[in-house]
Amino acid sequence: MSLFTRSVVAVTELAPVEAAITGTRAGRLLADQFVAGDTLAEAAETAAALNKSGLDVSLDLLGEAVADREGAENATLGYLECLERIAVDGLEANISVKLTQLGLAIDRQVAVASVERLAVAAARVGATVTIDMEDSRYTADTVDIYADAQTQHGNLGVCLQAYLRRTPADLERLMLLGGHIRLCKGAYVEAEEIAFQGSADVDAAFARLLTVLMGAEGVRPAVATHDPGLIELTRQLGEQRSAGFEFQMLYGVRQDEQQRLVDRGHDVRVYLPFGSAWYPYLTRRLAERPANAWFFFRALVGR
């Protein structure tokens, strides 16, 4: 992970910086670029507009690492409401969940029970559930919980992070279970023994994993990247597939490329976050691209 990324993460963890971003118009303007509002109604409206442009959606109710069972229950209820809204509005959408938001950080069984409820509810409305990957403290539990739930229900997917050194083994295991696998580069600060650090090494790891994933016909690859080179590699590998795959991109990032891929006949799903707990998500977007941070600081000083 680059020095810029580590520096931004360190700075945004400072309380005065968080207050400056969450409590100013500049921070809200930046959040609005990447977050589809504070409410499900706002997110559903945005999702419907994206659907009209040929884009599928993955709804993400922002939040992670809840501190108590009540918080986990509220998050689960929020996602059940998302699934109901998907059905009522006829949205081309699924949901993306973080297991610490469903209670993993306090009690593994709370998270397991929540995933069970969401998988059952998603099946009733013909939707799927994607389990996001978080920092490496939770990787093993996330993989195991997903494997158990997918084996039982068959309508789930999971995110794997290319920069983690353990991911090749996880991919080989999980490809056998069907479902969909979202492959991304990874956005958390990790130690060198756990994750590749340099961008070239991460890109190379992504390309190796992508080649394996796109060669597996029993699983649906969900390739989460905005990198032009990796997009082109995906297209090339996709020409050799008999089964489907999709690109996944973040809301507010490279919308022109999203539409271009749709216009060329590719399936594209937009990761659509919403909710009031947007600060941790936004800091990862700031850390990914200097332009994002520069946009905020220009807005902050009114220039």
The predicted-structure confidence for 228-254, as pLDDT tens digits, reads as follows 999 999 999 999 998 999 999 999 889
Known catalytic residue at 227 = no
- b/e map 288-300, b = 16+ CB within 10 Å: beeebbebbeebb
pLDDT in tens, 79-118: 999 999 999 999 999 999 999 999 999 999 999 999 999 9
Per-residue H/E/C for 229-246: HHHHHHHHHHCCCCCCCE
Q: Which pLDDT band, with edges at 50, 70 and 90, does 64 fall under?
A: confident
What pLDDT sits at residue 8?
A: 56
Q: Do 131 and 181 form a contact (C-beta atoms < 8 A)? A: no
What pLDDT sits at residue 300?
A: 47
Question: Which two structure tokens, joined as six digits, stand for 5?
Answer: 């990324």
| Beta strands, E only, 72-196 | 93-97, 129-131, 156-161, 180-184
What pLDDT sits at residue 187?
A: 81
Length of the chain: 303
Q: Which pLDDT band, with edges at 50, 70 and 90, does 216 fall under?
A: very high
Cα of 209 vs its chain's centroid, Å: 18
Residue 125 C-beta-side C-alpha neighbours within 13 Å = 25
What pLDDT sits at residue 189?
A: 84
Domain 41-275 is found in CATH 3.20.20.220: yes
Q: Indicate the pTM of the whole model.
A: 0.87
| Candidates 132, 135, 203, 267; catalytic one | 132
Torsion sign, CA atoms 227, 229, 231, 237 = negative
Residue 57, H or E segment: strand 56-61
| Candidates 182, 220, 284, 285; catalytic one | 182
Residues of the chain with CATH 3.20.20.220: 41-275
As a whole number of Å, the end-to-end CA separation of the chain is 30
Cα of 61 vs its chain's centroid, Å: 11
- Alpha carbon distance 225, 267 (integer Å): 14
Average pLDDT in the chain: 89
Known catalytic residue at 132 = yes
- Alpha carbon distance 259, 266 (integer Å): 10
Burial of 239 (0-12, 13-18, 19+ CB in 10 A): exposed
- What whole-number percentage of the chain has pLDDT above 70? 82
What pLDDT sits at residue 303?
A: 41
Closest CA to 182 of 301, 97, 62, 285: 97
